[in-house]
Amino acid sequence: MPLRVPAAEDERFMREALRLGEKAALVDSTGGPFGCVIVKGGKIIAAGSNQVVKRKDPTWHGEMEAIRAAAKARQTFDLSGCTLYTTSEPCPMCAGAIFWARIDRVVYASTIADALRYGQFDDQPIYEDLAKPIAERLTPAVQCLREEMLELWRRYEAKADRIRY
């Protein structure tokens, strides 16, 4: 069972995530102070840091980079057995990615409230928005051509060799 309390090795790995966050924000100026490492079997298998500004990519959060790198390194979309260390509580995008990657455990340093206070990074409204049905969210969303998509779904359902994931 993944630990719901801090483990002896957590501080060591978090310090590496902090080092990456510091480098991103204060040395290389690639983005905010967000660093991330992914650990399996007591070893770091992948790392990432925020590069939204440098890469001009709104999805380049440390967690996303680390998850993609870990999946590539292990050649699997299933990162069961891994712990993700991140300098700040994950945003909904990264929390969703952590879920899809089947990460076992998350260790974080600062909270969403800390990130708002010190960095004006405001994740809370996004979390609140995503808790609503899509039709009630801030970004206007409309449905279109559902019947054509259902036909594609039926053909996908009937595909004998589809790989479930």
Residue numbers annotated as active site: 63
Q: Does residue number 115 form part of the binding site for a second copy (CB under 8 A)?
A: yes
* Distance of closest approach, residue 43 Cβ to a second copy, in angstroms: 18
Looking at 8, 42, 43, 146, which residue binds a second copy (CB under 8 A)?
146
| DSSP code, position 25 | I
Specify the pairing of strand 83-88 against strand 35-40.
antiparallel
Candidate residues 8, 42, 99, 160; the one interacting with a second copy per rule CB under 8 A: 99
Q: Find the binder of a second copy among 21, 46, 48, 49 (CB under 8 A).
A: 21
> What distance in Å separates the CA atoms of residue 135 and residue 132, rounded to the nearest whole number?
8
Q: With binding defined as CB under 8 A, does residue 31 bind a second copy? A: yes
89's tokens: 């509580």
CB 62 within 8 A of CB 44: no
The reply to whether 111 sits near a second copy by the rule CB under 8 A is yes
State the binding string over 37-76 for a second copy (x if CB under 8 A, else -).
Answer: ---------------xx-xxxxx----x--xx--xx--xx
**Residue placing its CB nearer to a second copy in the complex, 42 or 144:** 144
Helix 62-74 with 10-22: angle, nearest 10 deg: 120
Helix crossing, 92-100 with 62-74: angle to 10°?
20
